[in-house]
């Protein structure tokens, strides 16, 4: 039995029987059959159903937010905001999908020539626990709109969310089996990818998981999209507005207890502002209210799993041994649940663990730099390239720095985030392919060229 454990209390809140491999293959076959009819459904009808799903998300934000909080520990405000964001992506693809999937006329000297965007078939998604509704809907909304069938293998600690998504799609009126959740073990994923019904796979998760799944997809000659880890740079130039910068820096690092792939993790601060940045960052961190994620007063909840908290603690301790200065935090809180103190490491250098690895928890690593050029050079030493941000009152100067960063996205004077209309994804060991925007809806579309001589 899979168990869902409340990370704030350690209590088992639900158990789920796994699907056998036979049951898994039956579900794949059922979704394949449903997709054959679904791909003929007009785009206007697909969009109308997505709109209905969006209304369900919006109307039940509190209910599903409670589910998120109990399964993985996200605080009430953030959890409900996540559910409402799912409504926005449903509305976005319902409204923009027909335009994004319209035939593309290409002038090439023939009587007529164009590219069509046709559904590939059944797409398999492997999704993480940190944004259990939003990460899944980034896959579900565009692919249902594109005419594909969707299979979700969610993280075991949020299987309640996976089953809730099934219920939402059915209640919205989507055909039975066009979207299904699989409750399977990791070793069953390879068997699913070997099944000829599965035409593509998308994964959001760790670098290690991405290597395994992308490798398997490559051997099976199946399209894949990988959204993996990140160690995003947060570059503070000499003319940055420091008060706002420090408020956002702590929010970015401690949002969702620091368990965000695209959050700022490495803070590059130019010499004149370095000491003041560290002092302000420390003060804001130490004033955060930690506690019950369902309490509206709580500003940061527990980490989702104890093993991940212990891994983070080991990375922090190793970094301190390597010479990082522990300014605040650096330990598990002595209370029930997976609570880790917001942690600030200063005097970080490129050879340290906290610079080289992704720290998936509420830990800020601050690096002293001489100028923007050194910040860019050091930022790009990371094997990851998901997102980043640059802080300066001179927007043109900030854009010049942004264009030199080896990342999939950069925000100027703001916190990195995902948005339905903007392409989302990374480079280097942060993965490949894009979610959201027109790029996301076309990732698992067959771009068919049609020519009339």
- Mapping DSSP onto H, E and C, the string for 379-432 reads HCCCCEECCCEEECCCHHHHHHHHCCCCCCCCEECCCCCCCCCCCECCEECCEE
Instruction: Please count the other Cβ atoms lying within 10 Å of the Cβ belonging to residue 200.
Output: 22
Q: Which of 71, 80, 207, 227 is catalytic?
A: 227
Q: Which of 261, 354, 358, 436 is catalytic?
A: 261
d(CA 450, CA 252): 47
List of residues 6+ apart from 410 with CB closer than 8 A: 387, 388, 389, 390, 402, 416
d(CA 341, CA 414): 24
d(CA 262, CA 260): 6
Distances (CA, A) of 54 to 63, 93, 267, 318: 15, 11, 37, 45
User: What backbone torsions phi and psi does residue 104 show, to the nearest 5 degrees?
Assistant: -105, 110
Looking only at the bridges linking them, the beta strands covering 363-369 and 343-346 are parallel
User: What backbone torsions phi and psi does residue 356 show, to the nearest 5 degrees?
Assistant: -80, -35
Write down the H helix ranges in 220-241: none
Q: Is 431 left (phi over 0), alpha (psi -120 to 50) or beta?
A: left
Contact 289, 300 (CB under 8 A): yes
d(CA 258, CA 255): 5
Our answer to whether residue 436 is catalytic in this structure is no
Nearest to 97 by CA among 138, 141, 53, 55: 141
Contact 451, 113 (CB under 8 A): yes
Nearest to 180 by CA among 50, 24, 43, 4: 24
Instruction: Please count the other Cβ atoms lying within 10 Å of the Cβ belonging to residue 216.
Output: 17
Q: Is 89 left (phi over 0), alpha (psi -120 to 50) or beta?
A: alpha
Taken as a whole, the chain contains a residue count of 453
Our answer to whether residue 261 is catalytic in this structure is yes
* The two structure tokens encoding residue 128: 């993480």
Catalytic residues: 227, 261
């Amino acid at each position: 039995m899979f168990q869902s454990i409340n990370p704030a209390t350690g209590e088992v809140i639900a158990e789920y029987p796994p699907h056998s491999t036979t049951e898994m293959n039956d579900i794949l076959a059922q979704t394949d059959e449903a997709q054959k009819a679904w791909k003929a459904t007009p785009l206007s009808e697909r969009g109308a159903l997505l709109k209905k799903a969006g209304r369900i998300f919006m109307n039940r934000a509190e209910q599903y937010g409670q589910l998120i909080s109990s399964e993985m520990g996200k605080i009430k405000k953030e959890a409900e905001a996540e559910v409402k964001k799912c409504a926005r992506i449903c509305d976005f693809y319902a409204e923009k999908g027909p335009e994004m999937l319209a035939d593309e006329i290409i002038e090439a000297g023939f009587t007529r020539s164009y590219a069509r965007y046709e559904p590939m078939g059944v797409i398999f998604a492997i999704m993480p626990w940190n944004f259990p509704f939003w990460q899944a809907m980034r896959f579900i909304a565009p692919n249902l709109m594109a005419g594909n069938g969707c299979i979700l293998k969610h993280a075991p600690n949020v299987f309640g969310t996976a089953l809730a998504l099934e219920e939402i799609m059915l209640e919205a009126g989507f055909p039975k089996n066009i979207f299904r959740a699989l409750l399977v073990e990791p070793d069953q994923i390879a068997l699913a990818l070997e099944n000829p019904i599965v035409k593509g796979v998308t994964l959001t998760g760790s670098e290690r998981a991405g290597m395994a799944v992308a490798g398997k997809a490559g051997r099976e000659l199946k399209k894949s999209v990988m959204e993996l880890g990140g160690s995003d740079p947060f570059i503070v130039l000499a003319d940055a507005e420091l008060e706002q910068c420090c408020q956002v820096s702590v929010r970015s690092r401690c949002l969702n207890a620091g368990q965000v792939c695209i959050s700022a993790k490495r803070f590059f601060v130019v010499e004149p502002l370095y000491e003041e940045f560290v002092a302000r960052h420390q003060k804001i961190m130490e004033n955060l209210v930690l506690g019950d994620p369902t309490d509206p007063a709580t500003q940061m909840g527990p980490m989702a799993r104890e093993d991940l908290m212990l891994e983070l603690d080991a990375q922090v301790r190793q970094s301190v041994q390597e010479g990082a200065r522990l300014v605040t935090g650096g330990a598990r809180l002595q209370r029930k649940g997976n609570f880790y103190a917001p942690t600030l490491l200063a005097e970080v250098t490129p050879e340290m663990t906290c610079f080289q690895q992704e720290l998936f928890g509420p830990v800020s690593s601050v690096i002293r730099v001489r100028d923007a050029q050194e910040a860019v050079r050091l930022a790009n030493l990371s094997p990851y390239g998901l997102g980043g941000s640059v802080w300066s009152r001179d927007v043109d100067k900030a854009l010049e720095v942004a264009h030199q960063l080896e990342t999939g996205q950069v925000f100027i004077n703001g916190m990195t985030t995902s948005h339905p209309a903007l392409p989302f994804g990374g480079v280097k060991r942060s993965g490949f392919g894009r979610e959201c925007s027109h790029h996301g809806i076309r990732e698992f579309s067959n771009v068919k060229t049609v020519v009339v001589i």
